Amino acid sequence: MDLSQPLAYRMRPQTLEEYVGQEHILGKDKILYRTIKADRLSSLILWGPPGCGKTSLARVISKTTKYKFTKINAVTGGVGEIKKAVEEAKNVFLNPTGKCILFIDEIHRFNKLQQDALLPYVEDGTVILIGATTENPYFEVNKALISRSMVVKLEPLTNQDIYKVLKMSLEKENGLKSFNIKIEDETLRKIAEVSNGDVRTALNGLEVAVLTTNMDSDGYIHITNQIAADSVRSRKAIFDKNGDSHYDNISAFIKSMRGSDPDATVFYLARALNGGEDPVFLARRIVIAAAEDVGLANPQALVVATSAMQAVTMVGMPEAKIILSEAAVYLATSKKSNATYLAINKAIEDVSSMDTGEIPMHIRNAPAEGMQQFGYSEGYKYPHDYPGHYVTQQYLPDKMLGTKYYIKDENIL
């Protein structure tokens, strides 16, 4: 092993037994483990966050399969590389099996044309596809490829998984064993914790700490908590404002406001802002929640939310975070009613899917002289002419009489 290579590269597992984590799919009783061991793999889409082991799993497969293994990076590769891999797979002199495993890293970066080019070869079995992606494949990958593949979701590694890998790196020849290192288990656990499920971040941080720390007079490199903290990038929530986590986080933010949990509301707001989310986008979601979830239980919520959106637009970051927090917490702690939301949705469903009849003649407009002789506005009762400013008369079409859209609930005054 070339020790000049990054530690994260050197520590990649060579066998399934060396692979750490993802027990939910790679436990010895799981179908994926058995399939890899038996070399009976079908096409796979490996979906998970950075540093969770997608490429390492593909590497393990490459070491265990009898099929030709070819790797393409979607950032630099294209249709030409796909065709070349297929031609080599079909060459019986170079590849007697007539098949190949084609690993495409960051497959979501392939455009539709490139993904379509794969389809016939996956279909006829020439190519066993392994695609790795950090993005939701159901949004980013050709549906035809998805239907012919097993989608496997990899989770962020646990702190214990990462601690285990860090410990192994100190004990292996291809790791850091050749360095005389003294580091407390507590410090290793701190590195694992701040890496946020990304083992690559943890290994890179440990390596930086070792390589940038001088040996003490006792002949050891002492890695303290402070040195480790300085070497590992600050903890940052997994958040890509253009990716799948954007949708997950905004969903959690909205549902926390709806669920009247101000602490969770502020947490997901902070996570979004920390990840670079557009504050105006967040303000718009608060306005929608004010109408959809608070509604007539507290009509003032819509006024607060609208004012907040205007203020955010005028003020900008970083002060906009205070305005967003105020409005979001106001909604989270307010009484809730979705009566008007349900009413308009049901009404739209009816008018778009059924014959709802004609508008009663007495409430139709009669702007031009002579229209009343045809019944327009004839018999209309002006409510303000009656006691209490109310009079009973028909407003719904005949076919819709008795239909209830707005159903007042207990939270509406």
| CATH of residue 163 | 1.10.8.60
pLDDT at 239 (0 to 100): 55
C-alpha count within 13 angstroms, C-beta hemisphere, residue 188: 16
> For residue 4, what are the CA distances in angstroms to 81, 174, 175, 176, 210?
29, 10, 11, 11, 14
408 is a domain residue: no
Mean pLDDT of the chain: 87
pLDDT category of residue 242 using cuts at 50, 70 and 90 = low
> Over pLDDT 90: what percentage of the chain?
35
pLDDT at 238 (0 to 100): 54
Does 203 lie in the same domain as 164? yes
pLDDT at 343 (0 to 100): 93
Does 227 lie in the same domain as 257? no
Does 304 lie in the same domain as 388? no
pLDDT at 77 (0 to 100): 77
Q: Which of 15, 46, 6, 3 is nearest to 136 (CA)?
A: 46
CA dihedral sign, ordered 244, 26, 192, 199: negative
If you count them, how many residues does the chain have? Answer: 413
pLDDT at 18 (0 to 100): 87
Statement: residue 237 has pLDDT above 70: no
Distance, CA of 202 to chain centre: 22
pLDDT category of residue 241 using cuts at 50, 70 and 90 = low
Tens of pLDDT, residue by residue over 299-324, are 999 999 999 999 999 988 889 999 99
> For residue 106, what are the CA distances in angstroms to 71, 140, 222?
11, 11, 38
Instruction: Please give the Cα distance from 331 to 301 (Å, whole number).
Output: 6
What is the pLDDT averaged over residues 246-257? 90
pLDDT at 322 (0 to 100): 95
Does 201 lie in the same domain as 130? no
> Over pLDDT 70: what percentage of the chain?
96
53 is a domain residue: yes
Q: What angle do CA 238, 239, 241 make, to 5 degrees?
A: 165
| CATH of residue 250 | 1.20.272.10
SS (H, E, C) 179-223: CCEEECHHHHHHHHHHCCCCHHHHHHHHHHHHHCCCCCCCCCEEE
pLDDT category of residue 39 using cuts at 50, 70 and 90 = confident
Does 163 lie in the same domain as 149? no
Statement: residue 288 has pLDDT above 90: yes
Does 255 lie in the same domain as 181? no
pLDDT at 233 (0 to 100): 66
Among 285, 300, 332, which residue terminates a domain? 332
Q: Are 152 and 61 in contact (CB under 8 A)?
A: no
Does 131 lie in the same domain as 29? yes
Does 136 lie in the same domain as 82? yes
136 is a domain residue: yes
Burial class (CB in 10 A: 0-12, 13-18, 19+), 269: buried
Tens of pLDDT, residue by residue over 252-267, are 999 999 999 999 999 9
Among 153, 181, 213, which residue terminates a domain? 153
Among 128, 153, 178, which residue terminates a domain? 153
Backbone angles phi, psi at 168, to 5 degrees: -60, -35
131 is a domain residue: yes
- Between these two residues, 197 and 299, which has the higher pLDDT value? 299
Residue type, 77: G
Q: String of b and e for 5-35 (b: at least 16 CB within 10 Å)?
A: eebbebbbbeebeebbbbeebbeeeeebbee
Instruction: Please give the Cα distance from 162 to 188 (Å, whole number).
Output: 9
| CATH of residue 48 | 3.40.50.300
Instruction: Please give the Cα distance from 232 to 234 (Å, whole number).
Output: 6
With a CB cutoff of 8 Å and minimum separation 6, the contacts of 296 are 337, 339, 340, 412, 413
pLDDT category of residue 168 using cuts at 50, 70 and 90 = very high
pTM score: 0.63
Rg of the chain on CA atoms, in Å? 31
The total number of structural domains in the chain stands at: 4
In 217-277, beta strands by DSSP E: 221-223
pLDDT at 74 (0 to 100): 82
Kindly report which listed range (47-61, 69-83, 240-254) carries the lowest average pLDDT score.
240-254
The Cα diameter of the chain in Å comes to 108
Q: Are 376 and 366 in contact (CB under 8 A)?
A: yes
Distance, CA of 49 to chain centre: 9
Domain that holds residue 168: 159-231
Does 171 lie in the same domain as 145? no
For the chain, report the end-to-end CA distance as a whole number of angstroms. 73
Statement: residue 175 has pLDDT above 60: yes
Does 134 lie in the same domain as 52? yes
| Mode of pairing for the β-strands spanning 181-183 and 150-153 | unpaired
181 is a domain residue: yes
Tens of pLDDT, residue by residue over 377-394, are 888 899 999 999 999 999
pLDDT at 301 (0 to 100): 96
Does 310 lie in the same domain as 278? yes
pLDDT at 1 (0 to 100): 54
What is the pLDDT averaged over residues 46-73? 87
Tens of pLDDT, residue by residue over 325-343, are 999 999 999 999 999 999 9
237 is a domain residue: no
Kindly report which listed range (193-202, 214-223, 372-381) carries the lowest average pLDDT score.
372-381
100 is a domain residue: yes
Does 58 lie in the same domain as 120? yes
379 is a domain residue: yes
pLDDT category of residue 279 using cuts at 50, 70 and 90 = very high
